[in-house]
Protein backbone atom coordinates (compact mmCIF):
# COMPACT_ATOMS: atom_id res chain seq x y z
CA UNK A 1 0.00 0.00 0.00
CA UNK A 2 3.02 2.25 0.27
CA UNK A 3 2.47 5.43 -1.73
CA UNK A 4 -1.19 4.70 -2.50
CA UNK A 5 -4.02 7.13 -1.78
CA UNK A 6 -7.31 5.72 -0.52
CA UNK A 7 -10.69 7.02 0.48
CA UNK A 8 -12.58 5.20 3.20
CA UNK A 9 -16.29 5.99 3.11
CA UNK A 10 -17.55 5.33 6.61
CA UNK A 11 -14.04 5.85 7.92
CA UNK A 12 -15.16 7.22 11.28
CA UNK A 13 -17.06 4.09 12.29
CA UNK A 14 -15.51 1.22 14.23
CA UNK A 15 -14.58 -0.85 11.17
CA UNK A 16 -13.63 2.26 9.18
CA UNK A 17 -11.19 3.47 11.83
CA UNK A 18 -9.51 0.06 11.86
CA UNK A 19 -9.15 0.06 8.08
CA UNK A 20 -7.79 3.62 8.10
CA UNK A 21 -5.26 2.70 10.79
CA UNK A 22 -4.15 -0.45 8.95
CA UNK A 23 -3.78 1.35 5.60
CA UNK A 24 -1.75 4.15 7.17
CA UNK A 25 0.47 1.65 8.99
CA UNK A 26 1.24 0.09 5.60
CA UNK A 27 2.23 3.39 4.03
CA UNK A 28 -1.00 4.58 2.41
CA UNK A 29 -2.36 8.10 2.58
CA UNK A 30 -6.02 8.04 3.57
CA UNK A 31 -9.03 10.33 3.38
CA UNK A 32 -11.76 9.28 5.78
CA UNK A 33 -15.22 10.41 4.62
CA UNK A 34 -18.17 10.08 6.97
CA UNK A 35 -21.47 11.59 8.03
CA UNK A 36 -20.18 11.69 11.59
CA UNK A 37 -18.35 14.79 12.69
CA UNK A 38 -14.58 14.48 12.53
CA UNK A 39 -12.04 16.04 14.83
CA UNK A 40 -10.58 17.80 11.76
CA UNK A 41 -7.43 15.72 12.06
CA UNK A 42 -4.79 16.56 9.51
CA UNK A 43 -1.52 14.81 8.92
CA UNK A 44 0.67 14.44 5.87
CA UNK A 45 -0.91 11.03 5.24
CA UNK A 46 -4.46 11.60 6.54
CA UNK A 47 -7.47 13.88 6.21
CA UNK A 48 -10.79 13.43 7.99
CA UNK A 49 -13.81 14.72 6.10
CA UNK A 50 -16.68 14.58 8.57
CA UNK A 51 -20.23 15.79 8.29
CA UNK A 52 -20.52 14.58 4.69
CA UNK A 53 -23.94 13.24 3.69
CA UNK A 54 -22.90 10.55 1.22
CA UNK A 55 -26.49 10.07 0.07
CA UNK A 56 -26.34 13.58 -1.41
CA UNK A 57 -24.65 13.58 -4.83
CA UNK A 58 -23.27 17.12 -4.49
CA UNK A 59 -21.78 16.49 -1.02
CA UNK A 60 -20.34 13.12 -2.03
CA UNK A 61 -18.75 14.58 -5.19
CA UNK A 62 -17.28 17.53 -3.29
CA UNK A 63 -15.70 15.24 -0.67
CA UNK A 64 -14.31 12.72 -3.14
CA UNK A 65 -13.01 15.45 -5.48
CA UNK A 66 -11.12 17.03 -2.58
CA UNK A 67 -8.96 13.93 -2.14
CA UNK A 68 -6.86 14.17 -5.32
CA UNK A 69 -6.62 17.93 -4.80
CA UNK A 70 -5.14 17.28 -1.35
CA UNK A 71 -2.93 14.26 -2.11
CA UNK A 72 -2.37 14.69 -5.86
CA UNK A 73 -4.14 11.47 -6.83
CA UNK A 74 -6.69 8.84 -5.79
CA UNK A 75 -5.83 5.17 -6.25
CA UNK A 76 -8.68 3.31 -4.59
CA UNK A 77 -11.85 3.66 -2.56
CA UNK A 78 -13.04 1.44 0.23
CA UNK A 79 -16.74 1.60 0.92
CA UNK A 80 -17.78 0.93 4.51
CA UNK A 81 -20.49 3.56 4.84
CA UNK A 82 -23.87 2.32 5.83
CA UNK A 83 -27.10 3.69 6.98
CA UNK A 84 -29.36 2.62 9.74
CA UNK A 85 -32.98 3.22 10.56
CA UNK A 86 -33.74 3.06 14.22
CA UNK A 87 -37.42 2.41 13.68
CA UNK A 88 -39.68 -0.46 12.79
CA UNK A 89 -39.91 -1.28 9.11
CA UNK A 90 -43.67 -0.76 9.20
CA UNK A 91 -43.11 2.78 10.54
CA UNK A 92 -40.32 3.77 8.15
CA UNK A 93 -40.80 5.90 5.07
CA UNK A 94 -39.67 5.29 1.48
CA UNK A 95 -37.60 8.50 1.73
CA UNK A 96 -35.63 7.06 4.65
CA UNK A 97 -34.82 3.90 2.70
CA UNK A 98 -33.89 5.92 -0.36
CA UNK A 99 -31.38 7.93 1.68
CA UNK A 100 -29.73 4.74 2.90
CA UNK A 101 -29.61 3.19 -0.55
CA UNK A 102 -28.11 6.31 -2.17
CA UNK A 103 -25.00 6.18 0.02
CA UNK A 104 -23.53 3.23 -1.86
CA UNK A 105 -23.91 4.21 -5.53
CA UNK A 106 -22.70 7.79 -5.14
CA UNK A 107 -19.48 6.88 -3.38
CA UNK A 108 -18.77 3.94 -5.69
CA UNK A 109 -19.51 5.84 -8.89
CA UNK A 110 -17.87 9.14 -8.02
CA UNK A 111 -14.60 7.51 -6.99
CA UNK A 112 -14.36 5.86 -10.43
CA UNK A 113 -14.82 9.10 -12.36
CA UNK A 114 -11.51 10.46 -13.53
- 1-49 tens-digit pLDDT: 899 999 999 898 888 899 999 999 999 999 999 988 876 566 779 999 9
58 band by pLDDT with thresholds 50, 70 and 90: confident
pLDDT the model gives residue 105: 60
Q: Give residue 48's region: left, alpha or beta (phi > 0; psi -120 to 50).
A: beta
Q: What is the mean pLDDT of residues 78-99?
A: 77
Contact 42, 25 (CB under 8 A): no
Tell me: pLDDT of 60 over 80. yes
Locate the domains of the chain by residue range: 5-112
- How many angstroms separate the CA atoms of 36 and 48, rounded? 10
**Among 39, 29, 40, 11, which residue's Cα sits nearest to residue 76?**
29
Tell me: pLDDT of 112 over 60. no
pLDDT the model gives residue 102: 66
Give pairs for 84-89: CB < 8 Å, separation 24+.
none
Q: Report domain 5-112's class.
A: alpha beta
Amino acid sequence: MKGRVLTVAGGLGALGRSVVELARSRGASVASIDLGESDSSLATDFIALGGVNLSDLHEARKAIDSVPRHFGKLDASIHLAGGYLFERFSESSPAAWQRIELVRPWTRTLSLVD
